Each structure stands twice: as C-alpha cells, then as structure tokens.
Amino acid sequence: MKHYYLIPGLTALLLLTQTPVQAITIDGDLNDWIATPQGEASDWQPLRNTTSYTIEDQNTSYLNPGYGGQNYDAEAIYVEIDGGTLYIAIVTGLSPNSSAWPAGDIAIDFGDDDSFEYGIVVLGDTSNPRGGLGSAGEIYQVTEWNYGLWTAPANYDPSGSSLYKSAHPTTVKSGEHEGTARMVYQKALYNDNEITQLGKFAGDHYVIETAIDVSVFDPSLWGQKFNVHWTMACANDWIEVDPVPEPPVALLFGAGLGLLGWSRYQSKRRAHRS
C-alpha cells in the first residue's frame, strides 16, 4: 500500500506556493478531500499534495486482523495541517448506528512507540456500549486504552495481550480531558449529496471528520514523529497514517519543493505490530 507522509513544519511553507483548493469544513462532505467520485480506484486520491493519507479499500470478508467485510472496512484516512489546525477524515463502511461493534476513537501517537498519548472521542460513552469515555469530539490525554479482539492477524483472543494488540487501541478508557474538537460521523456526502459509488467496490460509506487545534497537544511532543490511527471497538480492521520526523528549518529551504512529492512504501504488517 502506498503512503504519502506529512511533515508539519514543511506544510506551512508549501501552502504559500501551491494553488488554493477548497477550505476544509467539518461537515462529512468529501469535496474537501477528493475529486468527484467516478467509481474508480483513483477516487481515493486526495486533492492536496500536502495531504498525508492511506488507502485500504477492499471487498473481502477477511480484513486483517479480523473479519466482517464492507461493514467493518477501514477504507481510507486523510490528514492535513492548515495553520494551527490538524484536520482528519476517515472513510469506513462502519455505520455510526452499528449496534454490534461500534466505532473506536481516533488515537494519536507521538514518537512512533505505540504509546498513543492522545485520543479523540468519536461516539462517547452514551453511544458506545463497548466501553469508551466522554462525548463525541472530546480530546483526552490518555492514561489507559481499551483494546479489541485480536492478539495477531486472525488470532482471536479477546482477553489476551500482545504487542500487536497494544498497537491498535480502540477507545479511551481513562485520561485527562484537554479540550473539544469539531466532529461529525455520518453517511459520506459529495457536494451535499450521498455518495452512491466511491472507489471500485460497491457498498455504503461513512465519514468521521474532525478538526483539532494543535495547541491542545503537549508542546514537547508536537513536532515529533506522529501517527494517526483508527479502528472500531472489535479492531477487526484498522488504518493509520504513519509518522515523519519534523525536519530542521534549514532543511526546509535547502530541499525546497523537492520534498513535496516524497513518498515511500511500507507494509501494513510492521515488525513490532505483527
């Protein structure tokens, strides 16, 4: 799978040089993130070349690590920094009205060590029968996470523990409330109309979209490598945008726009997470 990565300090510099696109609003409408869907695999490509993203759209019963097909598919995640705001959009086949295993929270890990210092609540305790804390949009500095059903791909062990399981937290169990973000979780729209076809596979699509003021993060952490991770309460499927270190200021000017298209390939089964 192909990843494009986001360098926070570089983003602000490059935004001054690129052609403006539509501002991001938190409304569940993907016209901020992608071009008009045509029912092709290319539908998932982001509008901005500063957007960090991962695409995982699939149509099989097995999702890795668990099962469930389209209803539990974590299809795509997009991350953009604009000024002092961190924007996140997640596309999934999981309905916000799921009564079995509902959506988990967005987890943010600084330092690439699976510590997941921050969580953004997606549903909250009143909407999430599988645990969870707080209300939708609340941001927590996390002291303890809940976890899913899998200790390794296809290894069902709800009570077990493993490095793999700890790399895929589901909902915030406890922590300190740091603020509240704008948050929506709804049927995916494009130009205010429900999307009927997105990508090459059929199925319903839902959007989790939020905007976070980066001042809520510990200043000693912001600027480190980070990733943004999401899964559902069972952790049948998961998706993340991988971290990139903040470059020194001198490197920004020395490298210039050549860094804009930098990318790499990396397997979803990272060594410490498999």
The pair of structure tokens assigned to 53 is 């993203």
What is the residue-averaged pLDDT of the chain? Answer: 85
* In a domain? residue 89: yes
Task: Return the minimum-mean-pLDDT range out of 161-175, 186-200, 236-250.
Answer: 236-250
Kindly report, residue by residue over 238-251, the tens digit of the pLDDT: 999 974 544 433 33
Task: Return the minimum-mean-pLDDT range out of 89-103, 119-133, 222-236.
Answer: 119-133
Nearest CA to 227 out of 29, 48, 13, 8 is that of 8
Q: Tell me which of 249 and 27 has the higher pLDDT.
A: 27
* In a domain? residue 157: no
- Distances from the Cα of 56 to the Cαs of 118, 137, 191, 198, 199, in angstroms? 23, 24, 23, 13, 11
| CA dist., res. 66 & res. 146, Å (int) | 17
* pLDDT score of 29 more than 50: yes
Its domain, for residue 205, covers: 2-99+182-273
* In a domain? residue 169: no
Strands 172-180 and 138-145: antiparallel
pLDDT for 226: 94
pLDDT for 61: 96
* pLDDT score of 47 more than 90: yes
Beta strands in 165-272 (DSSP E): 172-180, 182-187, 189-190, 193-194, 206-213, 226-231, 238-241, 263-265
**What's the domain count of the chain?**
1
pLDDT for 1: 38
* In a domain? residue 163: no
Q: Which residue has the tokens 């200021």?
A: 249
pLDDT for 3: 41
Given CA atoms 148, 151, 153, 156 in this order, what sign does their dihedral have? Answer: negative
State the pLDDT confidence band at 273, using cuts at 50, 70 and 90.
low
* pLDDT score of 254 more than 80: no
Nearest CA to 101 out of 121, 131, 76 is that of 131
Q: Tell me which of 150 and 224 has the higher pLDDT.
A: 150
| CA dist., res. 53 & res. 239, Å (int) | 10
Nearest CA to 88 out of 105, 111, 110, 70 is that of 105
How much is the CA Rg of the chain, to the nearest whole Å? 18
pLDDT for 59: 87
Interval 186-191 mean pLDDT: 98
Percent with pLDDT over 90 in the chain = 72
Q: Report cis status (omega within 30 of 0) of the bond before 96.
A: no
- Distances from the Cα of 36 to the Cαs of 11, 23, 185, in angstroms? 25, 16, 20
- Distances from the Cα of 114 to the Cαs of 2, 102, 173, 208, in angstroms? 21, 22, 16, 22
Q: Tell me which of 81 and 248 has the higher pLDDT.
A: 81
Check if the beta carbon of residue 50 is closer than 8 Å to that of residue 6: yes
Check if the beta carbon of residue 116 is closer than 8 Å to that of residue 108: yes
Q: Which residue has the tokens 């991350």?
A: 79
* In a domain? residue 239: yes
* pLDDT score of 274 more than 70: no
Bridge partners of residue 219, in order along the sequence:
none
* In a domain? residue 165: no
Nearest CA to 117 out of 224, 270, 271 is that of 224
pLDDT for 242: 79
Nearest CA to 236 out of 114, 126, 104, 131 is that of 104
State the pLDDT confidence band at 21, using cuts at 50, 70 and 90.
low
* In a domain? residue 113: no
State the pLDDT confidence band at 101, using cuts at 50, 70 and 90.
very high
Interval 243-270 mean pLDDT: 39
* In a domain? residue 150: no
